[in-house]
Every structure is written in structure tokens, then in C-alpha cells.
Amino acid sequence: MSFLVVGSVAYDGIETPFGSEDKILGGSATYISITAGFFGLKPRLVGIVGRDFAVTDVQLLKSHNVDLEGLQVDNSGDTFFWRGKYHYDLNNRDTLETSLNVFEHFNPEIPDSYKDSEFVCLGNIAPALQNRVLDQVTRPKLVVCDTMNFWIEGARADLMETLKRVDVLIINDSEARELSSEPNLVRAAEKIQKMGPEILIIKKGEHGALLFTGSGIFSAPAYPLVDIFDPTGAGDTFMGGFVGWLARTGDLRDENMRRAVIFGSVMASFCVEAFGSKRLISLENGDIEKRYTEFMELSTIPEIINL
């Protein structure tokens, strides 16, 4: 089914205890669309890049089946650049540099050929821009949205408007607590679902993820990784896998939502195994299904035996 993603396309500079990269392809729309490409989709990407955007990165996206008709190229400046440093536990990072560059004046324009998109991924950008995207699409089957503390604190009114219009919100546990002013995640989820999204996913990093639907809760485990090289893009990759699976199957029932959460977790677990998108783009046939099976083995609870 048709799949639209709007978000950032960026270059990242990354330092971790295991190495560093000066300038590597990143951005939410990049990770989401590359990931969704693995689910047999042709992701329609809406974003903006500058004069320094490399033709090899255009080729990379195209080779992963990403439709670039909606990618704006602004020759007046450079591509959005972010540089950050992760500490030893990889849970915390310091932002060392943020240069918005051409992204500062990004105004998402949805090409006519994209307006009928059935699955819409709103990457982590200003809620006002997310709303502008929703104004332009006609009748999406599912709208999935990401956000972050920066917008919860600084653009709350806009975010509340967005939330009324989305079907699925994907955030992490600290964002859920902040958005709802509620420390207990079950109560937090109830409050957030009343803000608009019928379905909520709370990502808990090394502790997995929780899926809240109208009918109950699903607790997804995290893949027990020994070597985590670079967490950059893991959240976006989760979104790409989650929505990618739903768009591939077109099945929005609860049981399939569970599968989608696991596919999101599978893709995110690959993402962190190497810098940037390096591991993702090296995935081969069968890798994804194999890890899905490992998630099943990891969390299967045997039936009670009768005594």
C-alpha cells in the first residue's frame, strides 16, 4: 500500500565509546524510509536537503526503493547537520552541534501524486509542520506520529492539535510521562489516548516497548544485545518497521499490531549494531524473519502444566 513519510534528512556526526563518524547520512525520514523499503514498499519521502547533499546518498535512497519526488533540494544552504556524543552506557547523549541550515525553513509540500497516501508517517518535526502535512493528504488509512520532549515543552498547543488527528503515537517512556504528567505508564497511556491517538506505543529502550490499543496491552521484549555501537536512528527505524509491516499487510487488527511492534523492534535492534544506517542497508533475505523468530523464542511463556 502507499506509504508517505515526512521528516528530516540530515547529516550526523557521531561519537561513541566505540568510534566516531564525521558526517554520515541520517535524519528521521531517511531511517523510516530505508526501513520501510524492506517491507516491499516504495516509500514516498518528503523532506529537504541542501547543496552539500551527496549524489551517492541519493543513489543509496533510490536503491532502497525510496521515491524522491517529494525531496526538496535547496541550493541556498547546507543539509541539516547534527553532531552528538554518546557516553559509555549509550542511554545518554550530548548534542555538540545543531545546524538547521536549509531545514530551518522547511515547509512540507506534498506532491499531488502523494496526496492519496494510505499510510502516513509523521517523523519527529515541529507539530505545526505535521499538521500542515495532514492538511494536504486526502484520506489516509492510518496516520502515525512521532514527537519529542522539545515539542511537548515548547509547542504544546500545536502538538495537541496534531494528536487529535493521528491514529498512532510512538514516544518513549520519559516523553509519555512528561506529556501526561503521570509517572505510572498505564495511567499515562490512558490520558494520552484521550488526547486523540487510539493507539499508543511507549518505547522503553533496553526494556522493550508497550503497545496500548483499545482492547488491551502488549508488552514486547527488547532484543538482548551485547554490542550496541550507535543508538542513532533506532526510534525512527522502529517506526519504519512498525508502519512498514502494517502498510505491507493492510491489516490493522490488534494481532497484526503486535506483529508490527515486533518488526519495529527487530529493525531497531539491527540499526544499533553499526554506525548510522550501515547495518540496516546490509540486511539480507531472511535476516528479518530470523530475528522475528528470536523475539518469539525470547518471550514465549509456556502453558501451565496440570499437576
Site for a second copy, rule CB under 8 A: 40, 88-89, 183-187, 204, 206-208, 210, 216-222, 224-226, 228, 248-249, 255-256, 258-259, 262, 289, 292-293, 295-305, 307
Give whichever of 46 and 170 is closer to a second copy, judged by the CB atom.
170
> What is the distance in angstroms between the CA of the first residue and the CA of the last residue of the chain?
50
CA distance 89 to 132: 38
Q: Hey, what's the cell of 69?
A: 519526488
* DSSP for residue 302: P
Give whichever of 59 and 219 is closer to a second copy, judged by the CB atom.
219
Cα 216 to chain centroid distance, Å, stands at 23
Least Cβ distance, residue 152 to a second copy (angstroms)? 19
Least Cβ distance, residue 302 to a second copy (angstroms)? 5
Give whichever of 158 and 273 is closer to a second copy, judged by the CB atom.
273
Give whichever of 22 and 254 is closer to a second copy, judged by the CB atom.
254
Close Cβ partners of 190 (under 8 Å, ≥ 6 residues apart):
none
Q: Phi-psi bin for 196: left (phi > 0), alpha (psi -120 to 50), beta?
A: left
Least Cβ distance, residue 255 to a second copy (angstroms)? 5
Give whichever of 214 and 216 is closer to a second copy, judged by the CB atom.
216
Least Cβ distance, residue 144 to a second copy (angstroms)? 20
Least Cβ distance, residue 130 to a second copy (angstroms)? 29
List of E strands, 63-198: 71-74, 81-86, 93-99, 119-122, 142-146, 168-172
Per the document, the length of the chain is 307
